[in-house]
Amino acid sequence: MGDSGDLAVLAIYVSIFFVLLFCGIVIGGLRERSHMKSLDTRENELADITVCNLKTILSPDSASNAQMVMGQVVIATDYFKSLATALRSLVGGEMRAANSLMLRARREALIRMQEHAKRRGCNEVYNVRFGASAISQMSGKKGAMQVEVLAWGTAVKRGA
């Protein structure tokens, strides 16, 4: 049974690996698409909150209740996308998984900032800025790519 038994065990391990890989890719993709749909919906719901990066408030005499608002998110990819990105870094080119991660994190942080402004009764946010840090690199651990994004700005209330 020696060699054929070893080959059978190897085949089982390889099969398990590919089944898990397939499940990870499918489930990760579904979760990412679900998050993107959620972002689209929430952005549409917050369309009445004006956001811009101007440092000064337009017509400051008609604005009131100026205050700082912020939104923060820590988001990660799955291990399979991190593996694909690591392989891509060996040959060069666009790292789509990292781009998707940053896009989702920026959008989520911006939405959370807008929600913060809305809770405070404000309808405009000026001087919007973003800060980001790669958590995985800070901790020195390998694995899933993780990023923290913080969005902040000055919210004001305008109108009745």
In this predicted model, what pLDDT tens digit does every residue of 25-78 receive, in sequence order? 788 888 889 999 999 999 999 999 999 999 998 888 899 999 999 999 999 887
Three-state DSSP class for 133?
strand
User: Six-digit token pair at 8?
Assistant: 């059978």
2-158 CATH pick, 3.30.160.40, 3.30.110.70, 2.60.40.2220, 2.40.50.180:
3.30.110.70
The amino acid present at 46, given as its one-letter code, is L
Distance between CA atoms of residues 40 and 27, nearest Å: 20
| Mean pLDDT value of segment 95-101 | 83
Residue 141: the pLDDT is: 55
- Domain chopping of the chain, boundaries: 2-158
Rounded to two decimals, the pTM is 0.81
pLDDT of residue 2: 60
Q: Which residues of 10-26 are buried (b: 16+ CB within 10 A; e: fewer)?
A: eeeeeeeeeeeeeeeee
Tokens linked to 52: 């811009």
pLDDT tens digits along 108-127: 999 999 999 999 999 999 99
Q: Which residues contact 73 (CB under 8 A, 6 or more apart)?
A: 105, 108, 109, 112, 148, 149
